[in-house]
Amino acid sequence: MISLPTRRTSLRGQTYEGERLLLSAAVATKLYRCPSCREPLGIGADHIFVRYLDADPPWDHEHWHTRCVSERLLRTFATVHEVPAPKRPRPQRRSRR
């Protein structure tokens, strides 16, 4: 059984069709729509950020419900392994002038 990504680990894998993906845990900063169930992901919702490693922007990523990843997307993986989660950029501080 494949475990879902956490804040410390991501999943890197390849689907049976040959797509390379990186799955990371995320928190929604705006309203998104899950491509699997078409239901909204509200602001602040924990979800899975899916990056398509061979695609060009803006089609290189999607935001999925965690349950949709576990019920649908993970079944399409031919290979998968855990990798360290990407470092989040620190917010830049504004100087007061």
Write out pLDDT tens, residues 16-71.
999 999 999 999 999 999 999 999 999 999 999 999 999 998 889 999 999 999 99
What residues make up the domain containing 77? Answer: 9-84
**94 in a structural domain:** no
- Predicted pLDDT of residue 96: 64
Contact 4, 48 (CB under 8 A): yes
Residue 94 neighbours by CB under 8 Å, 6+ apart: none
Domain assignment present for 90:
no
- Whether residue 15 is contained in a domain is answered as yes
Q: Tell me, what's the pLDDT at 72?
A: 94
Instruction: Determine the pLDDT at residue 2.
Output: 73
3 in a domain, yes or no? no
pLDDT for 54 equals 93
**In CATH, what number is assigned to the domain containing residue 63?**
3.30.1740
Q: How many domains does the chain contain in total?
A: 1
Residue 93 falls within a domain, yes or no?
A: no
Measured distance CA(83)–CA(6) in Å, rounded: 10
68 in a structural domain: yes
